[in-house]
Amino acid sequence: MILLKKANDLRNYIDSQRKNGKPIGFIPTMGALHQGHISLIEAAKSRNQLTVCSIFVNPTQFNDPSDFEKYPVTTDTDIAQLLAAGNDVLFLPELDEIYPAGIKPIRIYELGELETILEGKYRPGHFQGVCQVVHRLLDIVQPDLLFLGQKDYQQCMVISRLIELTGYADRITIQVCPTLREKDGLAMSSRNRRLSVKDRHTATTIFRTLSFIQQHLRPGDLTALHNKAVAALSAAGFRVDYVSISDARTLHPCTDWDGQQQLVALVAAFLDEVRLIDNLPLTNAIAASR
């Protein structure tokens, strides 16, 4: 594996590989890697890509400064995992390599309703920060395939929109890969390692609640089902930001289901100060696949 810290060095290396006919598969991350990230590397390798993984904890997407400060940094074990997975290139930039002119945004991305609902509502500015860093990374890497995890369902949709907004739609294909779960159903996440033993146990309620919604979904008014899900999480000790049964392609909440509309259930909730998100497609659509 080649480790590069400078954007120019990465660009030059990728150009040389592209000339050799290698398609470029890009996996952007903020480190604290787990098997979910590694599954993205594996998906890229299985499609014969030169795998480029970036690790950069992007300050501009944290609406809560203490969340940024507490974000786990585990570079040595990340590198070991990437080596074991056979990753080809690791991009490990410093802040000024990503933001040479400073972190102040130079562009507002028109994300429409995606910016005001669910994560957009509870994490104001978050998706602008995600767009800012992913745009910069795409400019540097210029991948053919971009690998994203379905766990960040709304982020996949935002990045899909970013690709349209920035004119990359003809050149970059997004590959959304399934959420990886622990044996007890908890979605793998870098934040899980911040949970206490007790909260780690309680956290499994999220997947049980999503499964409950899936099992009890029937055409008609969804209010009672939604309320039961919120109540189950609250009773387990969560501080719930939202539970939403949403249109799988727009994320607009659905309150009355016609039995046809493609749906996804999404949850964001705190245990102590750790915010967890998860989702479960209730029908068979994965909205962000392009």
90 token code pair: 């690791």
What is the helix, strand, coil percentage profile of the chain, to 5? 45, 20, 35
Give phi and psi for 143, each to the nearest 5: -75, 165
CB of residue 130 to ligand PAF, shortest distance in Å: 5
CB of residue 236 to ligand PAF, shortest distance in Å: 26
CB of residue 132 to ligand PAF, shortest distance in Å: 9
- 3-state secondary structure at position 62: coil
Closer of 222 and 287 to ligand PAF (Cβ): 287
CB of residue 61 to ligand PAF, shortest distance in Å: 6
Tell me the C-alpha distance between 146 and 21, whole Å. 17
Closer of 27 and 225 to ligand PAF (Cβ): 27
Closer of 31 and 281 to ligand PAF (Cβ): 31
Residues that bind ligand PAF (CB under 6 A): 28-30, 58, 61, 130, 133-134, 152, 155
Tell me the C-alpha distance between 62 and 191, whole Å. 14
- 3-state secondary structure at position 69: helix
37, 126, 135, 226: which is the annotated catalytic residue? Answer: 37
The amino acid at residue 247 is D
CB of residue 261 to ligand PAF, shortest distance in Å: 27
Render the burial of 244-281: b for 16+ CB within 10 Å, e for the rest: bbbbbeebebbeebeeebbbbbbbbbebeebbbbbbbb
Closer of 189 and 205 to ligand PAF (Cβ): 189
Q: Is 104 exposed, middle or buried (0-12, 13-18, 19+ CB in 10 A)?
A: exposed
Closer of 55 and 236 to ligand PAF (Cβ): 55
**Are the CB atoms for 135 and 162 separated by under 8 Å?**
yes
Told to judge if 37 belongs to the known catalytic residues of this protein, a careful annotator would answer yes
- The DSSP H or E segment spanning 26 is strand 24-29
CB of residue 148 to ligand PAF, shortest distance in Å: 7
Closer of 103 and 230 to ligand PAF (Cβ): 103
Contacts of residue 179, defined as CB under 8 A and 6 or more positions apart, other chains included, come to: 36, 149, 150, 151, 187, 188, 278, 279
C-alpha distances out from residue 126 to 60, 96, 120, 130, 204, Å: 7, 20, 7, 6, 26
User: Which active-site residues does the annotation give?
Assistant: 37
